[in-house]
Amino acid sequence: MPERTVAVASRSGLHARPAKIFVQAAARQGTPVRIRVGNGAPVRADSMLAVLSLGAEHGTEVTLEADGPGADEALASLAELLGRDLDAEGAPGA
C-alpha cells in the first residue's frame, strides 16, 4: 500500500480552515485515503471529525495511505497540500 509522510505546514495545524481544505481535497480523490499520526490508527481523510481528532499541530508528521487505482497521484496531491501553509494562503494580503 503506497504511503507518504509529510509535516503539516499550516501554522494552526490541521484545524479549522486548513482541515476543511484538506478534507474537501481528500473527498475529491478517486480512491479512499487514510491519515495517521505516528503509529496511531489511520482515520478517513475525507472525514472532518476524524481529521480534527488527530490533533495534528504545525510541524506534526502525518502519514497518508491509500490503495487502488490513482493511489500514488492522490497521495502526491494531498501531501503537496499539507506541505503548504494554508493559513497564509487564505489570509488578507497573502
Within 8 A by CB and 6+ apart from 61, the residues are 5, 6, 7, 8, 37, 38
| C-alpha cell at position 69 | 487505482
Q: Which residue has the cell 507518504?
A: 4
Count of beta carbons in the 10 Å neighbourhood of residue 49: 10
Tally of domains within the chain:
1
pTM of the model: 0.91
- Catalytic residue IDs: 15
Integer Cα distance of 77 and 54 in angstroms: 20
pLDDT attached to residue 90: 59
Residues 32-81 have pLDDT tens digits of: 999 999 999 999 999 999 999 999 999 999 999 999 899 999 999 999 99
Integer Cα distance of 58 and 50 in angstroms: 17
Domain that holds residue 62: 3-90
Residues 63-72 have pLDDT tens digits of: 999 998 999 9
CATH number of the domain to which 10 belongs:
3.30.1340.10
